[in-house]
Amino acid sequence: MISVIIPVHNGGENFRRCLVSLSECATQPDEIIVVADGESDGSWRMAEDFNADILKIPTPGGPAKARNTGARKAKGDILFFVDADVTIDKDAIIHVIEAFERDSDLAAVFGSYDDEPFETNFLSQYKNLFHHYVHQTSNPEASTFWGACGAIRRDIFLKAGGFDESFRRPSIEDIELGYRLKEAGYKISLLKDLKVKHLKYWGPLSLLRADLFYRAIPWTSLILKEGKFLDDLNLKISNRISVASIFILIITLATSLYMPWLMLIAFFIFMLLLFLNRDLYMFFNKKRDFVFMLKTIPWHWLYFFYSGLGFLIGFTDYYVKRLKGEKRKQ
């Protein structure tokens, strides 16, 4: 049995699109559970037209709490978590069922965004295509989990304690769960044919806020807590070298005002960054065009900069809290 669980907070029309895509799946789930997370727009009522079970949380508690609430209600052997701002492929349920039937040792699976983002503005196209590329080029034997399109055996989910409800906003609650599952010895797979279309509109402020405060900083704390730098997804060695290169490039360019010969070093670093990320830029060129690719480069390098900045902030915050904790014990 497959139980689809959708947390929703003021989902609007995108939530309806999500429900419609579920209704058009070639194989239907055994139940759909919608968890209204402190909604104020009444969009949960849309789920009534799709025979979904509706659970309500009076005060917003975040997607982690909403998913856990749905999981406790679910009757299915497999919990399939789907975000309210995606539409799923018509074969998505089939892909999930077949994955678990093929491998009895499999604990969880997740998919990726497709390569045709819904919103047409540049940043939405860039951000969602970038996410698609990262998943499509990552190791199928996954090191984490993804809550926007991820399925897990219910007994394992409950045994692991579900999502960490201290994350009260969409953040890294799915990554944190994946780390715990791997630490416990469970197998997680990335299914590259399991795809969803992201409907979210990204603007400069929403993108920077989400990537820095809801991803980079808390992910750094999680990495330091676990003591593991995994060579996968956004943490590949090439990305780490690129982050360091961006900071060296900035310092070199600033110093070159006084020592012009450093421009040669800056040029070398510039070419190194292009080389390290050449496959991604060729992907952008192939999926869109050359002009689009050129526009992505400064945003991608900005991504490396604020990711590094987020690591420094997260690193400092983690060890300051750790020192305070040690002093209280003394």
Q: Specify whether 193 is located in the same domain as 318.
A: no
Q: Specify whether 37 is located in the same domain as 171.
A: yes
Q: Specify whether 73 is located in the same domain as 170.
A: yes
DSSP string, 301-330: HHHHHHHHHHHHHHHHHHHHHHHHHHHHH-
Q: Specify whether 267 is located in the same domain as 317.
A: yes
- The verdict on residue 223 lying in a domain is no
Let me know: does 2 contact 74? Beta carbons within 8 Å: no
Q: Specify whether 148 is located in the same domain as 57.
A: yes
Q: How far apart are CA 223 and CA 251, in angstroms?
A: 27
Q: Specify whether 32 is located in the same domain as 181.
A: yes
pTM for the predicted model, two decimal places: 0.92
How far is CA 125 from each of CA 53, 234, 266, rounded to the nearest angstrom?
33, 18, 30
pLDDT of the residue at 92: 96
- The verdict on residue 29 lying in a domain is yes
User: What is the domain range of residue 37?
Assistant: 2-202
The number of folded domains in the chain is: 2
Let me know: does 113 contact 198? Beta carbons within 8 Å: yes
**CA–CA–CA angle 83, 188, 33 (5° rounding):** 30
- The alpha carbon of residue 126 and the mean position of all alpha carbons in its chain are separated, in whole angstroms, by 15
Q: Specify whether 141 is located in the same domain as 19.
A: yes
**Final residue belonging to a domain, choices 155, 182, 202:** 202
Digit-coded pLDDT (tens) for 253-298: 999 999 999 999 999 999 999 999 999 999 999 999 999 999 999 9
- The verdict on residue 280 lying in a domain is yes
- The verdict on residue 51 lying in a domain is yes
pLDDT of the residue at 273: 97
List Cβ neighbours of 248 (8 Å cut-off, separation of 6 or more): 269
CATH number, position 25: 3.90.550.10
**CA–CA–CA angle 59, 60, 62 (5° rounding):** 145
Let me know: does 80 contact 27? Beta carbons within 8 Å: no
Q: How far apart are CA 265 and CA 288, in angstroms?
A: 32
- The verdict on residue 113 lying in a domain is yes
pLDDT of the residue at 323: 81
Q: Specify whether 22 is located in the same domain as 91.
A: yes
- The verdict on residue 74 lying in a domain is yes
Q: Specify whether 171 is located in the same domain as 75.
A: yes
Taking the CA of residue 172 as centre, how many other CA atoms within 13 Å lie in the half-sphere pointing to its CB? 20
pLDDT of the residue at 283: 98
- The verdict on residue 214 lying in a domain is no
pLDDT of the residue at 235: 78
pLDDT of the residue at 330: 64
- Could you tell me which of 309, 292, 94, 125 has the C-alpha nearest to residue 199? 125
Q: Specify whether 81 is located in the same domain as 179.
A: yes
Low-confidence spans in the chain with pLDDT less than 70: 231-232, 327, 329-330
Q: Specify whether 20 is located in the same domain as 95.
A: yes
- The verdict on residue 210 lying in a domain is no
Q: Tell me phi and psi for residue 55, to 5 degrees.
A: -115, 145
Q: Specify whether 131 is located in the same domain as 15.
A: yes
